[in-house]
Amino acid sequence: MKSRLKKYVVVDLETTGNQASREDRIIQFAAVMVEDGKIVQRFSTFINPEKPIPPFIKELTGIDSSDVQDAPLFEDVAETIYALLEGTIFVAHNVSFDWTFLQKEMLRIGMTPPKIPLLDTVELARILYPEIDSYKLQDLGDEFDLAHENPHQADSDAEVTALLLIQLLAKLERLPLPLVEKLTAVSSPLKNHLPTLLFETEMKKGKQREEIPAHLFVYRGLVLRKKQLPKNQAKKVDSGRTFPQEVEEKQALLKQAGTPLYARNGQFEMMNLVYRAMVEKKHALIEAGTGIGKSLGYFLPALYVAKDRQEPVLISTYTNALQTQLFEKDVPLARSLAGMDVQAEVLKGREHYLNLFKFEQLLNESDPQYDVVVTKMKLLVWLSETETGDIDEVNLSSGGALFWNRLKHTGWYLPEGDDPFIQHDFYKFSVEKAKRADLLIVNHALLLADHFQARKILPDYSVAVIDEAHHFAESAREKKSFILSYRKVKYFLNQLGTLEKYSLLSRLAFVFPGEESLFDLNIAQVKLNEAIESFFTELHALLVSTKKADTKLVLIENQEVVHFTETLRYAADNVAVLFHEVERHLSNLLEKGRAEAPLKEAETAFVEEVYSFLLDWKAMSDEFKRLEVKGEEVMTITLESDKNHHVSSLRIIGSYMTPEEALKEAFFSKKESVILTSATLSVNGKFSYIKKELGLSELELIEAQIPSPFNYADHARVLIPSDMPQIKGTPVQDYTRILADYLTEMLLITKGKMLVLFTSHEMLRLVYSYLKERQELEEFMILGQGISSGSVNRLTKQFRQFDRAVLLGTTSFWEGIDIPGEALSCLVIVRLPFAPLDDPYTKAQIDLHKKRGENAFQTFSLPQAVLRFKQGFGRLIRRETDRGIVVIFDNRVDTTSFGQSFLNSIPAVTEIKGEKSILLEEMTNFFKEEEE
């Protein structure tokens, strides 16, 4: 019996569709046998489905009717398949799909499926490799370099799944015994073979008496990675080193460090400007063109200043991903150039870190929900690998993300000493590292939270660098804005629950039996549930009655009431009062918990969980209060729904309108020197717009624009078609068809390698469908954001992988993606990126500028669009050797007085305007030169 359990049959099916319950049938079956970590047998056959193969299946798999017309029927191979499966463990990538289909087919021909255990490689990969971005078979194949010759054909997919299984089983064998024991205990609610596999691995490892690897330790049953604080070193610049002001000194540093970098005058100029601003205690705006190497341009001077002042210099960027990139790529470079020890740390907001005590206690809670079980197992493995405890390292499912709300760090309500994991706490460790850092890397959201909120997070600092500074005002606006959705409110109400049903409230009753506040809380919760329904029902009625076809309704614009009826105001006030009532009773119970300390460990962890819930609840309660719109805040509040106007889809979006004053008061006035840098800060050669956005107009600044070192005149062209119809007045179907014709001819010249940027999802979808119809583009991979599956990163990766590809993107593709080299040689801008005038936030900003007596187009709409345009243009030339063409289809760039602002704001490049034939000839010649 034991030898049988080691025999895995790895199966993959191709079918006429993905609905086993319908009349979809199998068209290909493949099985790969794995024993003792090796592939021992393969079997594959096409199967005649006795029905046509749909076009989308043919496109996906490459299998057409000619492949299956002479193939056996399922009943002809059923006995062979049965014999292969009998006595094995059935494995597949998303096992329920393949097993359900196979069962259905067997039952259809009167055969009883074998009773065999099931194992899913998706599930196993999610648990054993918690940090991988995607668990799709093709992506895992790429991750582990598993040869995948024909994705979406059963024989190739089964082969890769078998190799993946071998890899997963090998990793499972390598896990330390205490970790496998925990995994076995947590896995019990799973209905497949995994709990048995884990138990067998536990038994086997128990007999082997292995030692825990030196880099790990076991604490209270959890396997954790050892971590060590950096030594406190004298921060003063060592050996009399001084900042290299002269070009020769910087060149000597480059030579001495032996880096692959070459001397860049623009970068040297930036280093000196940054150093000067920091030493002279001034703020600076520095626009650094693509290719300057701005990260090193501020890292090197920041390092000298940090060492000299013996306090950290803060480096802030826009996203967590950019934080990681700076830490992993640019810090080592600065370290090697400076030739001295550099302590750099990444710090994120508290809620990014795992609370070990809460996690330990929740492991004991038997929650049978699939996502909760898998997330617990995933985090157990991750804890043996992470030094940071930062959840951004983990790929969580949506259910896992909800469970994370109960595990995240929110500080301590009870004395820290009551937490048995205090010595190993990830957040405290990260803060301690931050205190010892020369360079502290954060994101804009954390920096702004530190200044806008009462809870101090960051260590003392007086000098900061704001990278991606064109996002800083927007980040401030977002930090002071809010989103209140029906689903979010109902989620928290359900979490709170009632005394009758297992929930936070019923668990509170176990810890504080008979407390009067419990019954008051229960009544308040029931009333609040009713009040929320009334409030959102009132909102829904208002939306439907005033804008039947629309999904957005402005409730309040710039403090002036637009649509807030007396009934709605009453309903909102009622909700706000009840929210506060719940908050008061929860606070009372927590106070009782603090008074009765020390509690039992499980109760202590639970009190901390309630405290975490209360913090989220208070934040939501404050958002309801902000619906009253106090005079000191300029807010625009919008109601949004899905196109069917479901109550459950309603979201109230409160947009803060004027972050400049808050930034000036809370941040810039409190720091000695802030360096703001980005590749896109100026409009028409001036910083006026960005200075006004940031509240810097009246301050004395060091300002500089350092142009890109790239040779745009030779390496790039801007083409402007003169024979496109006007977008206004042309039906969108007609315009997009003409655009698709144009793009098709261009694609044949560029052989793909084209990124097309849209401002409208509708236009993107239409162009995508027209391009897919073209026979001459059959060999091209056409990717459309919101149509092709996958995130921005996934689509970008696919675009790079295919020789002949075109990628159609909207907002998120205008910036932030990096496609250097030959992968991208043509950038198409369909429309100048003005924000849509029907967007409530944009409309409110325009009205606000008008009320101030300004020309809203010149002071808001145009500069915002120019900066977005510059970001889009910057996608094309990412390295010195890159070449490419930008095609601007929006002829306003040429026919309007404001159009020149766009062209003036990009590097000097040859512009050619003309009809299609002229432009296609120019493209042909340009790319011919490249080949020569």
The rounded distance, in Å, linking the Cα atoms of 620 and 654 is 12
Q: Is 685 annotated as a binding residue?
A: no
The rounded distance, in Å, linking the Cα atoms of 890 and 726 is 8
- Cα of 478 vs its chain's centroid, Å: 16
Q: State the number of CA atoms in the 13 A half-sphere of 182 facing the CB.
A: 28
The rounded distance, in Å, linking the Cα atoms of 679 and 667 is 22
The DSSP string of 683-739 is BTTB-HHHHHHHT-TTS-EEEEEE---S-HHHHEEEEEESSSPPSTTS-HHHHHHHH
Q: Is 784 annotated as a binding residue?
A: no
Q: Is 239 annotated as a binding residue?
A: no
Q: Is 290 annotated as a binding residue?
A: yes
Contact (Cβ atoms closer than 8 angstroms) between residue 344 and residue 235: no
At how many degrees (to 10) do helices 247-257 and 331-338 cross? 110
Burial of residue 378 (number of CB atoms within 10 Å: 0-12, 13-18, 19+): buried
Residue 557's H or E segment, with its range, is strand 552-557
- Cα of 498 vs its chain's centroid, Å: 35
At how many degrees (to 10) do helices 486-496 and 601-625 cross? 150
Q: Which has the closest alpha carbon to 481: 362, 346, 654?
A: 654
Q: Is 292 annotated as a binding residue?
A: yes
Tokens of 241: 């080193």
Contact (Cβ atoms closer than 8 angstroms) between residue 196 and residue 117: yes
Q: Which has the closest alpha carbon to 764: 836, 830, 839?
A: 830
How far is residue 816 from each of residues 278, 323, 508, 678, 832, measured CA to CA in Å?
Answer: 28, 13, 46, 12, 18
Residues in the chain: 932
Q: Is 291 annotated as a binding residue?
A: yes
For residue 827, give every residue at least 6 positions away whose Cβ sits within 8 Å of its Cβ, in sequence order, or none.
754, 755, 757, 872, 873, 875, 876, 884, 885, 886, 887
Q: Which has the closest alpha carbon to 865: 759, 793, 722?
A: 759
Partners of 286 in the β-ladder: 677, 704
The rounded distance, in Å, linking the Cα atoms of 222 and 195 is 19
Binding residues for ATP: 288-295
> Which residues are documented as binding site?
288-295
